[in-house]
Structure 1
Amino acid sequence: MDLWALNLRHLDAMARIVELGTINAAARKVNLTQSAITQAIARLEAQLGVSLFYRKAQGMSPTEPALLLAPRVEAAMRQIGSTHVTMARMRALLALADAGSYAGAAEATQLSMPSLHRAVTDLSLASRRKLVERRGRTLAFTEAGLRTVRAFRLARADLLAGLSEVEALLGRETRVITIGAMPLSRARILPAAVVRFARSWPAIKIAIVEGSRSELLEPLRDGAIDFTLGALRDPMVEPDLLQEPLFEDRPQVFARRGHPLENARPDLAALARHEFLLPPTGTPLRDLWDEGFRGVGLDPPRVTLETGSVMMIRQMLLETDRLTLLSPDQLSAEIAAGMVVPVLTPQSGPVRSIGITMRAEWRPTSAQEAFLKTLRALSC
């Protein structure tokens, strides 16, 4: 189902009937006549290929597709926050934001540049806010424009989730779970969860977006990512996000096989004399590691390579006398092969809480909730 072929007002009318129980009550809420709403619901049912209501003398009783779709429409309308927004206007603004120019938006949507420009201009006039402005030869979004784009992206995500649930009822599986994967999650728990989930939900597509927390937060807030998996922040300071801890990870100091410290059982003072391969300053693991040394009056070890790439760290670890601090899960293959060895497990060292980060107002689909349950089960 093409989202942009639907009428936003018709969807809103459907959700109001689910909420209020009658066409008459919904008509007053959305400022349409009863006959207009009746026609709108009939057209929407034809487009979706489902019946949305049982017609009864005492009112309208929603079918399962309506019960799945209505909460998504309500969430989308809260994000949009205006009766002046149409599907055409929302599509135009999002296409412009994604492409960065009217020419690019026209190419992506196969719509004409004048129609896109008119839709964005009409939206700006209706909302009484300048959304886009020219800066030299380029277009730039104002602060109001950026807020509107984010709201529209979240609204689009809710509507697409609702439509995918309806499609699944009809046997047409279009649901996608998009997961933001931070480095540690890719070592063990995420692959295991994908394998287990696929046994019960083989038709669900899973998309993995790799990156650091800072790289994944904006796509998460925009609705492009459903949730992220990785190291949590303590304390959590973003009110629009929620964190759910899954398990704790205790990193160890590793060296190549044959390293001078292999059987030395070094203390922090001995470690401080060696060079390390570590994530950049500002990441939870690095900051906790450095604080551990400063807490006993030592300068942290010299870091000759700052990177979050386990692949890069692994190769340099094997070919030099440098040390690193990683989760055993991230080097499980090398440990099993005897290529690297732990030289210290800091008893009072850094402990990371690994878990899920999601939008505070996010409402998982049935498939997304099943995947979350799989993650929780694997973390027990």
Structure 2
Amino acid sequence: MELLFGLNLRHLRALPVVTARGGLSAAAAAIGISQPALAQGLAQLEARLAVRLFDRLPGGMVPTLAGSALIDRIVAAETRLAAGLVRANRRGFNPVNHLGMAQLRAFIALAEAGSYAEAASRLGLSQPALHRAVAETERLAGHDLVERRGRGVALTAPGRALARQFRLAAAEYRAGLESLMPADGPIRLVIGAMPLSRARLLPAALAALLPAWPGMQAEVIEGAWADLVEKLRDGAIDLMIGALREPAPADLAQLPLIHDRLAVIARAGHPLAAQAGTLAALADYPWIIGRPGSPLAAQWQALFGAHPPAAPVACGSVMTIRELLIATDCLTLLSPDQVKVELAAGLLTALDLPLPLPPRRIGVVLRDGWRPSPVQRDFLARIAQVAVITTT
């Protein structure tokens, strides 16, 4: 089981209160539990995390550096939970204080699985137990969060909003816990990889990162911008790498790394391969273009203006594009890096034609206001180093 979901959320929630009140007795009174119970919970948490969170001084309890880092993330997570569990109809009622780890975990699982049966299976719970946890979350939120659709379920609009805040809160808790761990601890890094990151930048950065973090579990989720951006906003992935958008969406931040120029790619032996191409000649052949709405499709449109050639295939898969190019006289716009193996093997060729297109910016996409954990910060530094080496 993931470390976060094995902890007591009430114990985590107590840490900022202990800091604010300066001691266990005042904190216990503020959160409505006994001082011995709070002391025991704090001791269990420190033992579980193998770190001292507070210094016990004559004047009271003061958080250690590790404790301060964790408390900062807990406060950020609680702010996310409060944003999702807003209830104005009960004066003095704070639903966040009544939310437990079981409810947080269950609702995130249901949002991801799309059915009670699948979510219960993933969590190792019975379906009645999962139903109870979700029903308690609905009671705290004061809204219907789930609705039946056929054999599955779907989240209502309030449910989708709450699921996003729960995921982002979980990301803050995880970042706080990971800040306490040694490099060989169970640390997660989830990267959304758009096509232009996969050939050079991402593999090189991960290869440099792995020796420094032997306990890291890196997950790379491949997809186009549209496939990944909502996962980024939800906190399901930590960052995205690939072609940047102009302008950047208001809720996202972009860090440019390199510039990439497109080329016209064709099969080896294509009729245009042995001559200096012209735009007019390119228009005589069918094209494979990027998916509608993608920057690649927009640049192809800009290349030909109001009278583009036939484009029978719109596709975002380089593997599919490669096979179609090899088997036909189709042309496409791609970065040479994306098909460097095929170019080196003589299966494909880049036509000799300078294109009147601006270079594309390739970089990292982050949630606006996102604060990286130590491993995430190290990854950003290493991919920036790879970008410098690549462009020199």
TM-score (structure 2 length as normaliser): 0.87
1:26-80, CA deviations, whole angstroms, 9 ceiling, x for partnerless residues?
5576455655543432232233333211101122222243133222211211111
* Aligned equivalent of 1:6: 7
Distance 1:191 1:33 in 2: 52
Q: Among 123, 131, 151, which residue is 2:145 paired with?
A: 131
Q: Among 336, 339, 358, which residue is 2:344 paired with?
A: 336
C-alpha displacement at 1:288, in angstroms? 1.7
Question: Do structure 1's residue 226 and structure 2's residue 238 form an aligned pair?
Answer: yes
Amino acid at match of 2:78: M
* 1:102-251 correspondence to structure 2 within 5 Å: 102-135=116-149, 138-168=152-182, 172-237=184-249, 239-251=250-262
Distance 1:5 1:319 in 2: 53
* Aligned equivalent of 2:97: 83
Is the CA contact (8 Å cut-off) linking 1:18 and 1:66 kept in structure 2?
no
* Aligned equivalent of 1:299: 307
Bigger mean CA offset, 368-377 vs 67-76: 67-76
* Aligned equivalent of 1:377: 385
Bigger mean CA offset, 335-344 vs 223-232: 335-344
Is the CA contact (8 Å cut-off) linking 1:84 and 1:127 kept in structure 2?
no
Question: Do structure 1's residue 270 and structure 2's residue 288 form an aligned pair?
Answer: no
Distance 2:246 2:373 in 1: 28
Alpha-carbon RMSD: 2.4
Is the CA contact (8 Å cut-off) linking 1:93 and 1:149 kept in structure 2?
yes
Q: 1:66 to 1:293 in 2, by over 3 A?
A: same
Bigger mean CA offset, 84-93 vs 60-69: 60-69
Amino acid at match of 1:62: P
Gaps of 5+ in 2: 83-95
SS in 2 for 1:244: strand
C-alpha displacement at 1:92, in angstroms? 2.3
Distance 1:339 1:181 in 2: 25
TM-score (structure 1 length as normaliser): 0.89
Question: Do structure 1's residue 284 and structure 2's residue 295 form an aligned pair?
Answer: yes
Question: Do structure 1's residue 322 and structure 2's residue 330 form an aligned pair?
Answer: yes
Q: 1:120 to 1:334 in 2, by over 3 A?
A: closer
Distance 1:9 1:261 in 2: 68
Amino acid at match of 1:356: V
C-alpha displacement at 1:135, in angstroms? 4.8
C-alpha displacement at 1:339, in angstroms? 3.6
Q: 1:34 to 1:181 in 2, by over 3 A?
A: same
The aligned length equals 374
Distance 1:143 1:20 in 2: 38
1:99-151, CA deviations, whole angstroms, 9 ceiling, x for partnerless residues?
33333333332333333322222222222222223456643322111111111
Is the CA contact (8 Å cut-off) linking 1:84 and 1:123 kept in structure 2?
no
1:193-243, CA deviations, whole angstroms, 9 ceiling, x for partnerless residues?
122222433432221111111111222222221111111111123x32221
Distance 1:210 1:266 in 2: 34
Is the CA contact (8 Å cut-off) linking 1:161 and 1:175 kept in structure 2?
no
Q: 1:140 to 1:342 in 2, by over 3 A?
A: closer
Amino acid at match of 2:60: G
C-alpha displacement at 1:353, in angstroms? 1.2
Amino acid at match of 2:98: H
Is the CA contact (8 Å cut-off) linking 1:317 and 1:323 kept in structure 2?
yes
Q: 1:203 to 1:140 in 2, by over 3 A?
A: closer
Bigger mean CA offset, 248-257 vs 113-122: 113-122
Q: 1:13 to 1:309 in 2, by over 3 A?
A: same
* Aligned equivalent of 2:56: 55
Amino acid at match of 1:306: A
1:139-166, CA deviations, whole angstroms, 9 ceiling, x for partnerless residues?
3322111111111112122222322332
Distance 1:8 1:307 in 2: 45
Distance 2:35 2:131 in 1: 34
Identity of paired residues, percent?
Answer: 44
